[in-house]
């Protein structure tokens, strides 16, 4: 049980009006997919410049469904990053295709687009980039590569709802865009996700894949043309999402304020001379979903887990986002090994996520910085 003055890694902010709205949905008797889902989709479409958007029960199934709509399956390859939540590549396996990993840029920690073309083969059909911590991948370069090689793009924008690229909201342009509204995201629907599509034909396919491939007509007509799943969002969840959307700009601005404070505090505390890696100071495009530092493993006597334990003892939450995918047993069995992607592997060993959420107090930032820097200084190699 955490103490009242502890700082969690993250905490969702849900207002009383949204809670009351959920009560009203529960009392209405219609709690599965219904009018609230339709309203949520309409608001998301408005945010995405009028593009078709369909809501789902996770930001994982959205990527799988995008791959299926794109016709990607056995014998095909999909390029992605090894530094992400494992769902990003698991969905590729789920459709029978093969993930092809490309190392990360050590500065942005996103997929290194300068390495992508070397990974393209005649079997390549798509790219799944990930906006780690909400920092967008270079969309101009990404889509130029995809256009040149006739590849589909499924943007894993699970962490970048509210981010922009060249002044345009992520989701308002491009190919497929997948969002997540998990409780740790910048806005939440408890569990849930959304897929931004290119046209109504794709949207109708997404609806079929969302609920067992069913197409209804009239009062009693039903047809099934493809094997779908059970991926629909409930009206309860959609009502939470609807209550969150008006706060997106406010939440983003607060996160940026906290991130600026973190960067200033770490600079003042001598983080760089100590070798602590800080994230890029992007306050134009990034939504600051997470604030992540890179530990200087070669200078420390402690491993990351021990540092996290010490932070926890000081009442400060932390996390790891993420261990590299290609070194999990599932992916080792497919042929990947240590040393394949050195930049990602270094990040996987050393990346540390620190608390960042809108209701975090200003005074929490120096407390976190002081605690981490103190731990590092006390455990430097001679």
52-79 pLDDT tens trace: 999 999 999 999 999 999 999 999 999 9
283 touches 255 (CB < 8 A): no
Q: Point out the catalytic residue in the list 43, 185, 204, 381.
A: 185
**111-161 per-position pLDDT tens digit:** 999 999 999 999 999 999 999 999 999 999 999 999 999 999 999 999 999
Portions of the chain given CATH number 3.90.1150.10 = 249-378
pLDDT per position as a tens digit, 370-380? 999 999 999 99
* Distances, alpha carbon 169 to alpha carbons 176, 198, 285, in Å: 14, 15, 9
CATH class of 16-247: alpha beta
Instruction: Identify the bridge partners of residue 154 per DSSP, sorted by sequence position.
Output: 176
Q: For this structure, is 185 an active site residue?
A: yes
Burial 200-237 (b: 16+ CB within 10 A, else e): eebbebbbbbbeebeeeeeeeeeeeeeebbebbbbbbb
What pLDDT was estimated at residue 1? 46
User: Which position has the token pair 């990527």?
Assistant: 63
Q: Which pLDDT tens digit goes with each residue over 301-326?
A: 999 999 999 999 999 999 999 999 99
Span 249-378 CATH architecture = Alpha-Beta Complex (3.90)
Per-chain mean pLDDT for the chain: 97
Identify the pLDDT of residue 99: 98
User: For the chain, how far is it from start to end, CA to CA, in angstroms?
Assistant: 37
- Which sign does the torsion angle of CA 118, 121, 127, 128 carry? negative
In 10 A of CB 11, how many CB atoms? 15
Q: The whole model's pTM is what?
A: 0.97
User: How would you classify the pairing of strands 176-180 and 164-165?
Assistant: unpaired
- Specify whether the CB–CB gap between 217 and 223 falls below 8 A: yes
pLDDT over 80 (residue 3): no
């Amino acid at each position: 049980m955490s103490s009242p003055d502890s700082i969690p890694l993250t905490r969702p902010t849900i207002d009383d009006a949204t809670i009351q709205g959920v009560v009203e949905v529960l009392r209405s008797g219609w709690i599965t997919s219904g009018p609230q889902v339709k309203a949520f989709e309409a608001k998301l479409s408005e945010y995405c410049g009028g593009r078709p958007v369909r809501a789902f029960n996770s930001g994982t199934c959205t990527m799988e469904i995008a791959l299926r709509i794109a016709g990607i399956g056995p014998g095909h390859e999909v390029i992605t990053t090894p530094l992400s939540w494992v769902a990003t590549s698991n969905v590729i396996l789920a459709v029978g295709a093969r993930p092809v990993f490309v190392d990360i840029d050590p500065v942005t920690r996103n997929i290194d687009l300068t390495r992508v073309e070397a990974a393209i083969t005649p079997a390549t059909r798509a790219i799944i980039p990930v906006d780690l911590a909400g920092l967008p991948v270079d969309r101009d370069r990404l889509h130029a590569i995809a256009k040149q090689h006739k590849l589909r793009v499924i943007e894993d924008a699970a962490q970048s709802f509210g981010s922009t690229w060249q002044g345009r909201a992520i989701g308002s342009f491009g190919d497929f865009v997948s969002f997540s509204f998990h409780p740790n995201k910048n806005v939440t629907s408890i569990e849930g996700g959304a897929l931004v599509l290119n046209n109504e034909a794709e949207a109708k396919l997404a609806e079929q894949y969302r609920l067992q491939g069913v197409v209804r007509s009239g009062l009693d007509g039903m047809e099934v043309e493809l094997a779908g799943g059970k991926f629909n969002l409930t009206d309860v969840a959609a009502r939470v999402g609807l209550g969150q959307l008006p706060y997106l700009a406010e939440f983003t601005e607060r996160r940026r304020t906290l991130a600026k404070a973190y960067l200033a505090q770490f600079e003042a505390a001598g983080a760089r001379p100590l070798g602590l890696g800080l994230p890029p100071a992007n306050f134009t495009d990034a939504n600051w979903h997470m604030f992540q530092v890179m530990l200087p493993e070669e200078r420390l006597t402690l491993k990351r887990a021990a540092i996290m334990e010490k932070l926890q003892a000081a009442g400060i939450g932390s996390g790891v986002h993420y261990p590299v995918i290609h070194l999990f047993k599932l992916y080792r069995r497919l042929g990947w090994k240590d040393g394949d992607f050195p930049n990602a592997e270094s990040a996987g060993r050393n990346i540390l996520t620190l608390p960042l959420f809108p209701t975090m107090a200003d005074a929490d930032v120096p407390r976190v910085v002081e605690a981490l820097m103190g731990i590092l200084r006390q455990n430097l190699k001679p």
